[in-house]
Structures are given as C-alpha cells and as structure tokens.
Structure 1
C-alpha cells in the first residue's frame, strides 16, 4: 500500500497538471490517516453541481461569481474561524468542509475547486498576511477575501499591505506585484508553512517532521527545508537522519548565518549517534 507521503509526492511531481484540491486534501492524511478522499471530493462536487443547476444558460462570469458567493458563504455558511484561528484543523480541508470554518487559504482552495467546476477561473493570490482570490474580467480584476467573499478596493488592499512591506517596500513595486496569481505549488507550500509555524511554536516535533517531509518533497531545491527537517529529526532522537540533513544544508550554504551553530549541533549529534 502506498504511503501518505509517497501519494503526496506523486501528486506534486509536475507543475503542469498538479491537482491543487487533491494535493491540499492529502496534507490532512497526517492528522487523519484513514481520510476518505472520494467522500470529500463527492461532497464538494455536489456543492458545485448545485451552483451549476441554479445558473442560467449563458451566465456571465460575474453572474457565476455572485451565485457561487451567495451559495458558499450564505447558504453553506463557510466563514473564517475567527474564534480559533490557530487550530491546525483549519488547514485540513475535510475538517473545514465539516465545520464550515477555516483560514483564508483553506477556504480559497475549496472555493477555487468549486469555481473550476462551473467554468469560473478564480485564482489564488499569495498576498502578505492574508491569502486572497481574484477573478479577471474585461474591466480589470476583482479581488476577493476568502473569509467572506467580499470584493476589496485598491484602498483596502493598500491598507492591508502596509504593515507587511514597511521599510523594506520598494517604491517601484506596484500593488499588482503582490496580486500575481499563485501557482498550486506556491499555495501548497503556504499551507504547509502555516502548519509548520504552528507545530514549531508548540514544540510538537512529530507533527513538525510530518510537515517537513512534505515540504522537502514539494520544494526539493530548497535546502532550508531540508535543514528544518534535520532540526525536527534532532528533537526526535534520530541523530543519523538529522546529521544527514544538516550536513547537506551546510554543504550548500557553508557561510550561512546559522552555519556555526549548526556545525556545533552536527558534532553533538554525531557524538550521540
């Protein structure tokens, strides 16, 4: 039987046909090993089918958007989980579908999956601090907040962006720079990084390692992810695996700011091994 990590790896091999919803759902296998993918997909398919049934023939994209928004947020009741925003379950799609609460990126992934099924090209936007969605129309782009489906004005977007750009903001970077379409791999990485931050802060190294295994698969060229997997291994009494990952990072970045500290840690782990 294929492992959860091998299954995820198979899904994210190619960018051209990376199935965002299925790969995002696969992340939840770490918390729910017996996750029924078919049942979850069938539920979302039924939601999309109901929207499609209600749409008039020849509906415009704006009509589709209005119908999907009303059904998703008002009838199904999807919304941001403001009462427990940092619950890891907010990143597990089957849990979000069950309780109708999530964080912006998980809500967006479900919304985008439904939109695709009604031929509406909603795209994800990896905006700083709060994941967004967008729809291109002849007059420009409609930017949507996945928390409630509200469209955001330029002024609102600039206000949301300000705390994150600060002194590092380059004047020649327009707002449009931050509103570029996020590809599926970028969206998955952001979902995993959200979980990584939660588990790291809690010192839950077993769950952190599960996330890191996926990040190493998803971003194979990112040595920092392998470094962080090594750190997780080092906290779980796996010195050989930790040394292998940390050494690989040090070989690629021998002059990194954390290189001296990591070399010392490698020596400690070799002694422990």
Structure 2
C-alpha cells in the first residue's frame, strides 16, 4: 500500500477483527496531529470508565447505567453538542472531542460507546439519516440514547419526531433507520463528514485524504471512487483519474452522471 506514513497505524487497525473503534478513530486524527499520543487518549477513556464504575448501582439495569453515564458525561464533565460551530473539523477528531468536551452526534456517541464498552455494558451505534444515536445492545431494549442532546433517552416515536425536526418535514420511520451499524461503518461515516467539510472549505488535499481512508474501509464505495477520480482529474493525474472513473462506471453503469463521466474519460484518452 502506497500512502503517507501517518496513515499506516490506521491501516493496521482496520485490518483487525474486531476493529478497536476508539483506537481506529484516534488513528484518523494522526494525519492532522502527527505527534498525537494515542495511548494517553485511550487512558483518558479508561479513567472516565473507572469513575463511572464507582458511581454505578449494584443492580445494573440498563436505565440505571444510562442515567449514571449521562450524569457523569453531561453534567459532571459537561460534554455537549457543538451547535455553534457544527462543521468544525475538530468535532470529528476524537482527541479534540475528549480535550474540548464538545462534538457532533457521531463523535459524542463514540465517546459514550467506548466508555460503555469498558463497563461491559454493550451498546451499538444507530446510523439514522442525518443523525447518529446509540442504544443498549439487548434484545427488545426499545430505548435509544441521543448523546448530542445530553444523553436524552428516546423511544422509536421520539426518533421519528427527531427525523422530522432535522429534515423540516414529516419523515416516516423505516425499520432500517434503527438498525445497528458496525465499527467499520462508523469510521466511514466519520470520514465522510470530514470529506464534506473539507470539500466545502475547498481544502482538496484533506478531502482526498479522507476519501482515500474511506476506500481503505470500503473499497467499492462507488461515490468515493468517483469523487477521488474527479479530484485526480482536476489535479492533472490522468492515469489515476481514468482508473477510478472507469471503475465507477463498471460498478454503476446506469448512474445519473454516467454520460458526464464518460465524456471526462474521453478527454483523458484524447
């Protein structure tokens, strides 16, 4: 694999089964912070979990554990959602989230998941459209936790209302909206957030770095293949652009933009 040295730890982590989500997320930040002390950040999560464990009641009923976690994270430590600067890239770097105690739904959920894992309280991520929540990983648990909103406990009807608030119109709740997502999918979603932020900022080199890491996690992500190919095309890397764009069309021959991509390929061949 030909990629920057700072990406090697991330590549190594995502080859493991299971993926250590917290460590892999910190490895994402290595390209932004080459001197990042990953172990020190993992120890911070260990410390948080130890403090919560001391406060847990003997009977670890799910709601009691969640209430204890919520009290510690959102009242004692003051973790909160960054509504003032939602699109700050720092919201997607776990080390920054731990230091500043502010983040977006997926990064705050990741902190919650990592502490719950250390408490041996199984929880999973739920990748709703436009929002990210978590839930206890018990059969028929029926409750969800919104880490971005102070650990608010939600029921399915609350999730539907939250979707409607996000999109500004009624959004019927589909069963797949509440399906658990894997660690790999969480990492892809975090990198996709960074990709969108960097594209909006016109920071093409960082957008490309995010796309390249997405493709390490999901090699057949067709939109990322297309976007990387377009960046290569814009930067004059004709061979690399052709490879990505040809693969994109082979995977999605009837894509809405297929004719546009084909014209670009013709220019590259001329």
Unaligned runs of 5+ in 2: none
Paired with 1:80 and 1:229, the residues of 2 have a C-alpha distance of 31
**Residues 250 and 196 of structure 1: CA distance in aligned 2, closer, same or farther (over 3 Å):** same
Paired with 2:12 and 2:257, the residues of 1 have a C-alpha distance of 33
Give the equivalent residue in structure 2 for 1:84: 85
1:250 aligns with 2:249: yes
Paired with 1:237 and 1:50, the residues of 2 have a C-alpha distance of 53
**Residues 252 and 133 of structure 1: CA distance in aligned 2, closer, same or farther (over 3 Å):** closer
Listed as ranges, the matches of 1:1-273 within 5 Å are: 3-13=5-15, 16-136=17-137, 140-147=141-148, 148-162=150-164, 175-270=174-269
**What is the number of residues matched between the two proteins?**
266
TM-score (norm 2): 0.88
The question of whether the paired residues in 2 share the 8 Å contact of 1:227 and 1:245 is answered with: yes
C-alpha deviations, 1:132-165, integer Å up to 9, x for none?
A: 1112567732211111101123432222234659
The question of whether the paired residues in 2 share the 8 Å contact of 1:205 and 1:236 is answered with: no
Paired with 1:270 and 1:199, the residues of 2 have a C-alpha distance of 29
Paired with 2:13 and 2:205, the residues of 1 have a C-alpha distance of 23
TM-score (norm 1): 0.88
Paired with 1:248 and 1:47, the residues of 2 have a C-alpha distance of 45
The 4+ residue runs of structure 1 with deviation greater than 6 A are 165-168
Larger mean CA deviation between 37-46 and 52-61 belongs to 52-61
The question of whether the paired residues in 1 share the 8 Å contact of 2:142 and 2:155 is answered with: no
**Residues 175 and 246 of structure 1: CA distance in aligned 2, closer, same or farther (over 3 Å):** closer
**Residues 154 and 60 of structure 1: CA distance in aligned 2, closer, same or farther (over 3 Å):** closer
Higher relative contact order (CA 8 A, sep 6+): 1
Unaligned runs of 5+ in 1: none
